[in-house]
């Protein structure tokens, strides 16, 4: 399996990766490289320790035994130091890669926000699903208004007049009672039959697409709030106080770079409880990141299913081929938007792969090498 060279440095924050999965693969390689390097160093120390144990068994003088025991204690301390440095290097890799993932996912969340905002608005959906918005239908109503029997005609209120079903019923009723000839009536019906068929069949479905898209957008707003809170908690231990939005807007990753280096230096120079606490403060946000990744993945899966449903709805209009030339461009554009959205959910927004081995790697810094 291909494995990268170790690149666990903060400059990686500036390299834009196409997807978090690539960052996780890089993390695996870097953790693997670190562990292999420390295994070699630790094995060398274990061999030294084993040699000293053998020499202790054959040592004759008191001075020889004391020297060997002192050296053995030194080696044991060196082993502990190497184990600490190993864990510290892995924590650094995981922390940095986690920060990269947050940065990338935030861009995806912002992109989704833009996507939902650009999807057909309620006004545009209304244009597609309401026959009153079609010039041909408006022309028919004008003709019937002029030809109707004013003695029996009733004018609808603006509210009822805007209702699709009521408007269509009134139009057809006025046509029956109008002075148009039978041939004229048939011709006028023929001019709007596709419009009436499409709008009456699809109005509820189109409205459902709008409201369910609004639901998805609301969900994305929640995702955006959560990742911004995650970033705040993630960078709090290193002393960074700006929001994710401000950091992105000002391209302030260099400041985070400095904060991380300063924090890692303090970890190395600290001892006892203080050192352990600082390590935990770097480890804990990883669990929060995993929780967010799960939330993000569920949302993307949900979004893809919704858009697959939208596609089925839009493809369900049975007279599409027959009425193709009379269907509104907005309808065709909406179908195109749905297809593009499904493709994006499968590529640009696709879930982060954190199951099985990768979950273990992120949580504990463990990999198959160990």
pLDDT at 112: 86
The predicted pLDDT at position 74 comes to 96
Domain ranges of the chain: 10-126+203-364
pLDDT surpassing 70 at residue 137: yes
pLDDT in tens, 313-330: 999 988 998 888 888 888
* Pairwise pLDDT comparison (306 vs 147), residue with the higher score: 306
Examine the pLDDT at 263 and tell me if it is beyond 70: yes
Neighbouring CB atoms inside 10 A of 53's CB total 11
Residue 30, pLDDT above cutoff 80: yes
pTM above 0.85, yes or no: no
Q: What is the mean pLDDT of the chain?
A: 82
pLDDT at 158: 55
For the chain, give the percent of residues with pLDDT over 90. 27
Judged against a pLDDT cut of 80, whether residue 1 lies above it is answered with: no
Give the whole-angstrom CA distance, residue 131 versus residue 163. 10
Tell me the mean pLDDT in the region 235-258.
91
317/119 Cα distance (integer angstroms) = 20
Q: Which stretch, 6-15, 223-232, 265-274, has highest mean pLDDT? A: 223-232
Q: What is the CB-side half-sphere exposure of residue 80 using CA atoms within 13 A? A: 7
Of the candidates 31, 28, 33, 10, the residue with the CA atom closest to the CA atom of residue 103: 10
pLDDT tens by residue, 350-366: 888 765 555 556 655 55
> Rounded mean pLDDT of 119-140?
77
Residue 165 has pLDDT above 90, yes or no: no
């Amino acid at each position: 399996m291909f494995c990268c060279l170790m690149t666990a440095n903060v400059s990686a924050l500036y390299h834009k990766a196409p997807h978090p999965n690539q960052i996780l693969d890089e993390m695996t390689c870097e953790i693997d490289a670190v562990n292999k390097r420390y295994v070699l160093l630790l094995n060398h120390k274990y061999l030294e320790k084993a040699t000293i144990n053998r020499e202790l068994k054959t040592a004759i003088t008191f001075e020889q035994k004391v020297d060997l025991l002192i050296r053995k204690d030194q080696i044991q301390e060196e082993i502990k130091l190497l184990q600490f440095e190993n864990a510290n290097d892995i924590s650094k890799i995981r922390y940095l890669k986690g920060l990269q993932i947050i940065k990338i996912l935030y861009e995806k969340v912002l992109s989704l926000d833009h996507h939902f905002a650009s999807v057909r608005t309620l006004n545009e959906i209304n244009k597609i699903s309401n026959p009153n918005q079609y010039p041909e239908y408006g022309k028919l109503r004008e003709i019937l208004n002029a030809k109707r029997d004013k003695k029996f005609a009733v004018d609808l209120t603006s509210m009822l007049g805007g209702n699709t079903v009521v408007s269509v019923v009134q139009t057809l009723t006025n046509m029956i009672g109008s002075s148009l000839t039978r041939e004229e009536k048939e011709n006028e019906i023929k001019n709007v039959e596709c419009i009436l068929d499409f709008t009456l069949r699809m109005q509820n479905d189109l409205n459902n697409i709008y409201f369910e898209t609004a639901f998805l957008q609301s969900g994305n707003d929640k995702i955006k709030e959560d990742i911004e809170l995650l970033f705040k908690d993630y960078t709090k231990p290193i002393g960074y106080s700006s929001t994710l939005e401000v950091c992105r807007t000002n391209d302030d990753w260099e400041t985070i770079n400095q904060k991380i280096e300063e924090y890692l230096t303090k970890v190395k120079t600290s001892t006892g409880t203080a050192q352990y606490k600082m390590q935990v403060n770097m480890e804990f946000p990883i669990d929060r990141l995993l929780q967010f990744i799960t939330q993000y993945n569920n949302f993307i899966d949900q979004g893809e299913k919704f858009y697959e449903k939208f596609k089925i709805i839009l493809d369900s209009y049975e007279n599409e081929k027959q009425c193709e030339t009379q269907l509104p461009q907005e309808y065709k554009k909406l179908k195109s938007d749905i297809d593009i959205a499904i493709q994006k959910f499968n590529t640009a927004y696709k879930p982060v792969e954190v199951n099985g081995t990768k979950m273990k790697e992120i949580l504990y810094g463990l990999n198959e090498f160990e």
